[in-house]
Amino acid sequence: MPSPSSTRGALRAALRADHELADGIDRGPLHGIPIGVKDLVDVAGLPATRGSAHFAGHRAVMDAECVRRLRMAGAVIIGTTVTHEFGYGPTGDRSWHGPARNPHEPVRMAGGSSGGSAAAVAAGMVPAALGTDTGGSARIPAALCGIAGYKPAFGRVSTVGVFPLSPSLDHVGVLGATARDCRLVVESLTPQHSGRHCAAGTVARVGWLAETPDAPVESAIADLTRRALAEHDVTQVPCDALTGMREAFRAIQDSEAFAIHADRVHDRPDLFDAEVLERLRSASETRVAPRPGPPGPGSGPRAHEQPVRTLRSSGLADSRYHSAPDRRS
């Protein structure tokens, strides 16, 4: 995970933390604690490949906002971790750097797309790491590696400086050895929300989604969760719209993902991992229902077409979060 440049930077940060603590300066529970960062999140001066040959040799020019906040909290960034190429896959084994392996059984996958962050925590390399989570990319590898994964509420943690998969759905996720570790990291990322916890004895209202064939729950997990919520007001909530929600999620994610990569798919498809390229090509066929009005021919426009036009007209397609160094030579 660490590169020579990240090792030097981490050593300097660790020494600075030692000196500050010796001088009575305490920045909080992350002061001097090593943290890994997924290779979709910019760390100034470190490689920012997004797991893709499209960004080979690319380095971040500045810290993502979440990394900046970790540094302010005294955390020591020790390097970047493997991501499924462009964060577009749940297995973590499709990266220009090679697969993320499960430290408990290296022949098995770590999960994705934040597989490297999950593996680093599970292996004891770091107590916590940043990932991203659009549709499970922090929680899936956390589950497969036997650690805790947390997806904060949308917008709670800034995604500025994070390479997008689907901007309407992207989150910065946190992976830690325990849920408490995740909480400490999230509170450092969002100090404005710190301290907003229920007082002891407070009864919280919790909605419990009814199990459906599309969303089964293991009985042991359900029993454990219910016991943990025994003192709270748990209300069964029907989820008849779950299938429609899933379809809407996939339409949004796939259309936005293809919009971000449309030019790369057209110009240099050979630089993609074959599986990721196939996923993007399938995403290009995502269609949306027509707006209310007189019926027209066809099954609706391709969902990515408006996002592509919007990205190009706004100039975002040329920003540092979408463009890559010229790899044609």
Under 8 Å between Cβ of 210 and 236: yes
Phi-psi bin for 315: left (phi > 0), alpha (psi -120 to 50), beta? Answer: left
Catalytically annotated residue among 38, 114, 166, 255: 38
d(CA 122, CA 139) in angstroms, rounded, equals 13
Can you tell me which residue has the tokens 């392996």?
Answer: 101
| 3-class secondary structure per residue, 7-28 | HHHHHHHHHHHHHHHHCCCCCC
Contact between 147 and 177 under an 8 Å Cβ cutoff? The reply is yes
Asked whether 126 and 78 are in contact (CB, 8 A), the reply is: yes
**CB-CB contact of 258 with 286 (8 Å):** yes
Q: Judge whether 137 counts as a catalytic residue.
A: yes
Candidates 6, 52, 95, 113; catalytic one: 113
**Catalytic residue list contains 38:** yes
Inter-axis angle of helices 179-189 and 65-72, to 10 degrees?
100
From 137, 166, 188, 284, active-site residue: 137
Local structure of 215: helix, strand or coil: strand
- Closest among 295, 209, 273, 282 to 251, alpha carbons compared: 282
CA angle 209, 257, 1 (to 5 degrees): 90
Strand partners, 55: none
- Strand ranges, E, within the chain: 34-38, 76-81, 128-133, 148-150, 171-176, 205-209, 233-237
Alpha-carbon distance of 262 to 112, in angstroms, equals 23
Active site residues per annotation:
38, 113, 137
